[in-house]
Amino acid sequence: MACRMFASHKDCISATGIMMRLLPAADTPEYQELRRRIADIKEF
């Protein structure tokens, strides 16, 4: 989603801007599952 926002944004967009737009999505079960998977990969 962040890559799509970066590619489709007409002006420059900062990492903070992307984070602020994606922050509401952090409470979804899909996001939480993705976070757990990334944490498992980092521990490996």
What is the rounded distance in angstroms from the CA atom of residue 28 to the CA atom of residue 3? 19
How far apart are the C-alpha atoms of 3 and 26, rounded to whole Å?
16
Share of residues in the chain with pLDDT > 90 (%): 0
Could you tell me how many residues make up the chain? 44
- 1-18 pLDDT, tens digit each: 777 777 777 777 777 777
How high is the pLDDT of residue 44?
63
Whether the pLDDT of residue 32 is over 70: the answer is yes
Task: Return the pLDDT at 11.
Answer: 78
User: What is the maximal distance between C-alpha atoms in the chain?
Assistant: 39
| pLDDT for res 31 | 82
Per-residue DSSP letter, 42: H
- pLDDT of amino acid 9: 75
Which pTM value belongs to this model? 0.43
